[in-house]
Amino acid sequence: MLQAVGDVREGFICPQCHQDMSTMEMLQVHFQDIHMKQSSSTVKGLFSFAKQKIKSVQDNFTNIPNEQTNNYAQYFSSDQNDSSSKPQQIGYIRSYTDRFKKERKAQHDQISIETTRLLLRIEKLISTGENIPKNANTKERRKYEQDIVEWIDDAKVTLCPSCAKSFNLSRRKHHCRLDGFVICDPCSRFLLFSKARYLIEPSTSSSLPNGLSLQRSNSLTSLNSTTADNSAYKDRTNNEDYLRICLSCQKVLQRRYDQICFKNTQRDEVFVSYEKIVEAKKILDEIHSTYSTMIESLLNGDTKYQIVDAQKLYRQLSTCYDKIDSTSKHISKLADSCLNIDEDDTQSIIRYSALCRNMRMYAIHVLQNFAISTRRVPSEEDVKRAREERKRLIEERIESERAAKAELASRIPLTDSPTVKKKEVSGWRPTIDRNLLVQAQELNPLVQQVYQVTEYIRQAQIAGRLDEVESLKLNLKELEQALNHAQQQENVSTFDS
């Protein structure tokens, strides 16, 4: 490497063979290809070589990994790291609700138009008035019905459209009163007026006499579920008016009926009970928060609340508590009884009892949470002790403050009399002890302020104005700081002189 001065070369020169490489990369490639191999082929003593090699390989494999152990972050894009402190957002969501509703509307509009049309006709057909003929009066009645719905011409129909059997003497032609089509008797359905009324106004006639129970499984025109029943049922319905309708109309009406039933399903006892729990829980929540603050302040020795208040609230709390407990117990008992469920329907039974049990678990959990966080009402003695303790603390503090004051007073050189600023606090106003003022007059204005504020604090504490105390204390702190500062400066200045 000791070359003549004139032979200095610059650039990417190989340290081993002094060949000039034009770029860094080329140099690297060159060095790796030629010298690394060379060195490995020259035998320089196995151990020393091994050592060196180990070292370099170790550098490769240990150092780099060691850097990695500190940070893999370098390999990941950093602009996302900024958001890493934020909580993870919920993943993507795609909604089909609008599309679904559109489809549903398109699908069901046609049917609902049909339903409305039929309902309008029914309303006219079953309305009772003086000039509307009763069923008994067949001819007039028929005319009235035909006015509302145009009947199809008998002559055009030779087969019953639903059973495809031809009409003859024994299989006579009938008309559906709602759409006027011709049907045979076995294919007819009969809609009782009472049920028809229910279809039109479900709310008013909800107390139907004739066993129009709210179970959905019941067919609307229960008389016609099988033709065999027909005659028997007709006998029974003789005393009540009915409309003859065809199968397709019945289908539309049945759907309407199911929908009404669906909306008016009776609540099971479970749900009624559960609602009670929810209500009680709501009240419990409300009471609980005020109760906790009350207890807190009582135990602090505050005079804001009385024990009686707390006791009253506690009683309310425990009634709610009991209510939740007993209601949920009641629910869990219902689990075994399983009202209104077929015995074969085991899945429903399992589901129902699981529901009840889970409600009870939920209630227990709610109660546990409250039980843990609810403290008992402190006894008279506790409160008294707390109050005394507090009083003692306050007095102690005043005492120590006084001592501090005295100390302060001794330390502060006297200055001219200060002006006293009165603090206006709305509602409650601390008064200034005249004696103190006299004392204070001889003091530095800052010291005087300190006095005053400590005095205010004392008074405020006695009066139980916690927030005032807080803000006053802050003031005091600032004042003391200022005072210290002033004192220091003074000390320095005296020292200088």
Q: Which residues 362-381 are close enough to bind other proteins by CB under 8 A? A: 362, 365, 368, 371-372, 376
- Burial category of 282 from C-beta neighbours within 10 Å (exposed 0-12, middle 13-18, buried 19 and up): exposed
Contact flags string 105-144 toward other proteins, x per CB under 8 A:
--xx------------------------------------
Q: Which CB sits closer to other proteins, 86 or 172?
A: 86
Q: How many residues line the site for other proteins (CB under 8 A)?
A: 78
Q: Which span (360-368, 396-404, 437-445, 477-485) binds other proteins, by CB under 8 A? A: 360-368
Smallest separation, CB 379 to other proteins (Å): 11
**CB under 8 A: which stretch of 46-54, 149-157, 390-398, 483-491 binds other proteins?**
46-54
Q: How many CA atoms lie within 13 A of 254 on its CB side?
A: 18
Given a contact cutoff of 8 angstroms between Cβ atoms, the answer to whether 412 and 444 are in contact is yes
Nearer to other proteins, 235 or 380 (CB): 380
* 95 is a contact residue toward other proteins (CB under 8 A): yes
Distance CA 453, CA 408 (A): 14
Q: Does 352 bind other proteins (CB under 8 A)?
A: yes
Least Å distance, CB 18 to other proteins, is 26
Task: Report residue 481 as tokens.
Answer: 């700081």
Is there binding between residue 103 and other proteins (CB under 8 A)?
yes
Identified binder of other proteins from the candidate list 13, 17, 73, 420, rule CB under 8 A? 73
* CA distance linking residue 322 with residue 305, whole number of Å: 25
Instruction: Please state the closest distance from residue 244 (CB atom) to other proteins, in A.
Output: 26
Q: How far apart are CA 244 and CA 192, in angstroms?
A: 9
Nearer Cβ to other proteins (84/497): 84
Contacts (CB under 8 A) with other proteins, residues 390-449: none
- The window from 231-239, 298-306, 341-349, 478-486 that contacts other proteins (CB under 8 A) reads 341-349
Rounded Cα gap, residues 474 and 462, in angstroms: 18
Rounded to the nearest 5°, which phi and psi values hold at 49? -65, -45
* Separation in Å, CA 412 to CA 208, 433, 481, 490: 96, 21, 14, 10
- Residue 92 in contact with other proteins, rule: CB under 8 A: yes
Task: Give the C-alpha separation, 298 to 376, whole Å.
Answer: 12
User: Given candidates 85, 131, 204, 410, which one binds other proteins under the rule CB under 8 A?
Assistant: 85
Look up residue 216 and give its DSSP letter: T
* Identified binder of other proteins from the candidate list 22, 110, 347, 435, rule CB under 8 A: 347
Q: Looking at 154-162, 229-237, 353-361, 409-417, which segment touches other proteins (CB under 8 A)? A: 353-361
Token pair 């200060």: residue: 418
Q: What is the CA radius of gyration of the chain?
A: 48
Helices (H), 238-379: 247-263, 269-299, 307-337, 346-373
Q: Least distance (Å) from other proteins to the CB of residue 134?
A: 36
* From 41-49, 163-171, 313-321, 384-392, span contacting other proteins (CB under 8 A): 41-49
- The Cα-based distances of 38 to 19, 33, 49, 227, 354 in angstroms read 16, 9, 13, 106, 80
Which of positions 208-227 make contact with other proteins (CB under 8 A)? Answer: 216-217
Distance in Å, CB of 34 to other proteins, minimum: 17
In this structure, the dihedral spanned by the alpha carbons of residues 158, 163, 165 and 168, taken in order and rounded to 10 degrees, is -70
